[in-house]
Amino acid sequence: MINPKTTATPAGERELLIEREFAAPRELVFKAWTERDRLMQWWGPPTWPIDYCTVDLRVGGAWHYRMRGPAGEEGWGKGVYREIMPSSRLVYSDYFSDEDGTEIPSGGDRRNRFRGPGWDDPGAKQDDLRERRAQGADPGHGRR
Amino acid sequence: MTADQLSLTFSALADPTRRAILARLAGGEASVTELAAPFTMTLPAISKHLKVLERAKLISRGRDAQWRPCRLRAEPLQDAEEWIERYRLLWEERFDRLDDYLSEAQARGAKSQEDHHD
């Protein structure tokens, strides 16, 4: 286990590389990130769990979810899949949306990328993730 | 810090050599020659990296033409580090939850294989 477990390194002008290694088969990590029932169990913080979620796992398809806050507030999010290679690679845009899935502009393009070991980068960790930094974005947005 | 300053800082920090130079300068000022020593790089190549760091206001250079020591400028670096740390923490919390989920899922998988009657 590396310490700290999660590292964040600038990888470009608007790119932050976030890396974490998981002691689990990459097939399971990929499923945890792409199957509705599994996503609902970990994506949202305990105070803002996902209580509604749909997943349409194909390029151009989306996962669309609602997080429920402690006072009953709603926060919707949506990810549109850009690249899907089972157990190896997952790229999707990530933004706030409304109930209908319409994007709520937050001033930038955010793109999450899951990359399994051995995929196009020999030094890749078991899992890593890049986030396209939105200009002037508040990281707090990610959790609402 | 303005978004442009942050972009400049990010670009500067995206290179591992430049991050190593900053780590070295955290221990005190140094000359170009001293900074170049640990790297298999020419002095002009190191100078180029230093220019990027200087433009991003992450270091300052002394005025003496002969001895122009490089110094860390702590404040912009600290601003960038605080910004990065907020993102890191957000993802660390999320990944801790994923880690817990993965452990539980694997434990459940092992148990259901042992116990066929379940």
Residue-wise pLDDT for A1-18, tens only, equals 446 789 998 888 878 888
Residue A128 CA to chain centroid, in angstroms? 11
Tell me the count of A-B CB pairs closer than 8 A.
Answer: 96
Q: Are A64 and A51 in contact, with CB atoms under 8 Å apart? A: no
Assigned fold of B3-114: Arc Repressor Mutant, subunit A (1.10.10)
Class of the A6-142 domain? alpha beta
Query: What confidence score (pLDDT) does residue A15 get?
Result: 80
Which residue from B minimizes the CA distance to A11? B14
Nearest beta carbon to residue A6 from set B6, B13, B95: B95
CA A8 to chain centre: 15
pTM value is 0.75
The residue assigned the tokens 């005190």 is: B28
Mean pLDDT value of segment A99-124 = 58
ipTM of the predicted assembly exceeds 0.90: no
DSSP A43-93: SS-TTS-EEEEEE--STT-EEEEEEE-TTS-EEEEEEEEEEEETTTEEEEE
pLDDT for A106: 64
B93 in A contact zone (CB under 8 Å): yes
User: How does pLDDT run across B61-91, given as a tens digit for each residue?
Assistant: 987 766 789 999 988 888 888 888 988 998 9
Number of alpha helices (DSSP H) and beta strands (DSSP E) in chain A: 2, 8
